[in-house]
Amino acid sequence: MNEKRTEISSLGEFGLIKQLTQQFPINQKSTIKGIGDDAAVIKYSMDKHTVVSTDLLLEGIHFDLMYCPLKHLGYKSVVVNVSDIYAMNAIPRQITVSIGISNRFSVEALEEFYDGVRLACKNYGVDLIGGDTTSSQKGFIISITAIGEVEESKLAYRNTAKEGDLIFVTGDLGASYLGLQILEREKKIFLENPGVEVKLEEDQYLVERQLKPEAQRETIELFHELEITPTAMIDISDGLSSELKHICAQSNVGCHIFEEQIPIFQETYDAALKLHLDPITCAMNGGEDYELLFCMNKTDAQKIYGRHGIKCIGEIKNSSYGLVLESKAGFHHEITAQGWNHIL
Ligand code: ADP
Ligand code: MG
């Protein structure tokens, strides 16, 4: 932690905004005017559509500052927003960041948050072009808006999956949920025995998936490079089951998913068993993975088979088929967005 503590009041609102936003360069040619006027100005080319997504994050509801470092929080807040832009098959270009803060936070603490925001802006190639700063009585409040662009023909909605499409997911599912369980467990131990050493090294991968997730930039760039467009797409923020239900309900189709194909890394699998949880249930219902779930016609799908980190997990069926999960033993189960009573 930073030793120095500068009170927000010593800078005032405008001084604080200047301090927090001064080291954000403008890199996108579509950013005409960034921070500093009444509104930012963006100019995308005529043939593109603009994609906008906003998230509101509240302390105590969406994050816990006891175990979430402010830099990670800044990074993650940006990532969850650009992930929504990617899920439309669009390229994020700009973000705005609005914060509600109390005098509990020092200027240094807020700078840590903006360090994370800056790193995410760099990694995902977006410009910070504005925001708002206001006081909050207690908790930390964050609202981020991401703005991106894409050709109309490349937009990937949730409601356009077709019978016969193949269903894919990127990456690894369930790790973020398990990371959260581990952080909650350590918090409890710490609160009961203050001073006890918190050991997280062993579960570093899982904890990192929870605290510092990444959005799937490479996958979207691959689609654009290969000139293929998913027939439907969604990012996995609430768990695979829930996202499959969204796509199927909105597209009026069913699906058949093979348990065997659901991507679960060895670390994730082992950690689930250690915590007496079913790895498949964690992968299906965990959430906050920020991987992509997408559907693709069989011709386009040929081009991405075997691509690193992309896995075919099933096929879109007609609506009367329902949502089916075929277990490793060959049994068929209906996919439901389950709670967490399902403990082995
Ligand atoms: P206004 O009074 O018009 O809301 P502000 O004084 O709040 O303007 O903001 C001045 C400039 O600083 C604007 O460009 C605004 O978008 C930007 N800004 C304010 N707060 C933040 C923040 N927390 N992060 C990034 N930009 C900010
Ligand atoms: Mg303002």
User: Residue 289 — pLDDT band, cuts 50, 70, 90?
Assistant: very high
To test the ligand 1 pocket, which listed residue (133, 136, 147) has its Cβ within 8 A of the most ligand atoms? 133
Instruction: Give me the helix-helix angle, 266-274 and 204-211, nearest 10°.
Output: 100
Q: Please report which helix (H) or strand (E) contains residue 20, including its range.
A: helix 12-21
Q: Determine which residue's CA is closest to atom 3 belonging to ligand 1.
A: 38
CA–centroid distance, 70 to ligand 2, in Å, is 22
Which helix (H) or strand (E) segment holds residue 326: the answer is strand 323-326
| CA-based torsion, 310, 313, 317, 319: positive or negative | negative
Which one of 8, 13, 17 would you pick to mutate in the ligand 1 pocket, going by the greatest count of ligand atoms within 8 A of its CB? 17
Output the DSSP codes for 235-303.
Answer: EESS-HHHHHHHHHHHHT-EEEEEGGGS---HHHHHHHHHTT--HHHHHHH-----EEEEEE-HHHHHT
Q: How far apart are the first and last CA of the chain?
A: 40
Index of the ligand 1 atom closest to the CA of residue 21 = 25
Are the beta carbons of 85 and 43 closer than 8 angstroms? no
**Residue 198 reports pLDDT greater than 90:** no
* Torsion over CA: 32, 33, 38, 39 (sign): positive
Local structure of 92: helix, strand or coil: strand
CA neighbor of 294 nearest in space, from 157, 195, 149? 157
* pLDDT the model gives residue 338: 61
pLDDT of residue 202: 84
Report whether pLDDT(293) > 50. Answer: yes
Residue 55 to residue 145: CA distance in whole angstroms: 7
CA distance 179 to 190: 16
Indicate the SS3 state at residue 172. Answer: coil
Cβ atoms of 264 and 332 within 8 Å: the answer is no
Q: What is the pLDDT of residues 218-276, one digit of tens each?
A: 999 999 999 999 999 999 999 999 999 999 999 999 999 999 999 999 999 999 999 99
Confidence band, pLDDT 50/70/90 cuts, at residue 2: low
Q: What is the CA radius of gyration of the chain?
A: 21
| Nearby residues of 14 by Cβ (< 8 Å), 6 or more positions away | none
From the CA of 251, how far away is ligand 1's center (Å)? 40
Quick one: pLDDT at residue 197?
80
Residues 127-133 have a mean pLDDT of 98
Q: What is the distance between the alpha carbons of residues 59 and 57, in angstroms, rounded to a whole number? A: 7
The confidence score (pLDDT) of residue 200 equals: 80
- Identify the pLDDT of residue 342: 32
Query: Which residue puts its alpha carbon closest to atom 9 of ligand 1?
Result: 132
Does 344 or 326 have the greater pLDDT score? Answer: 326
Give the single-character DSSP code of 321: G
pLDDT score recorded for residue 344? 29
Question: How many A from CA of 96 to the centre of ligand 1?
Answer: 9
Q: Specify the residue for token string 């930390």.
A: 140
pLDDT tens per residue across span 63-117: 999 999 999 999 999 999 999 999 999 999 999 999 999 999 999 999 999 999 9
Q: Which pLDDT does position 340 carry in this prediction?
A: 33
Two tokens, residue 183: 């952080």
* Distance between Cα 133 and ligand 2 center (Å): 6
- How long a stretch of residues is the chain? 344
The structure tokens 């699998």 sit at 269
Instruction: Report pTM.
Output: 0.94
Domains, the chain, with CATH or none: 8-154 (3.30.1330.10), 166-334 (3.90.650.10)
Residue 292's beta-bridge partner residues? Answer: 235
Contacts of 134 (CB under 8 A, 6+ apart): 98, 99, 100, 101
H and E: helices and strands count for the chain: 10, 13
Strand ranges in the chain using DSSP code E only, listed in sequence order:
31-33, 41-42, 48-58, 91-101, 127-135, 141-151, 166-170, 232-236, 254-258, 291-296, 310-317, 323-326, 332-334
Is residue 152 scored above 50 in pLDDT?
Answer: yes
Give the C-alpha distances (Å, rounded to integers) separating 194 from 42, 187, 188, 197. Answer: 50, 10, 10, 9
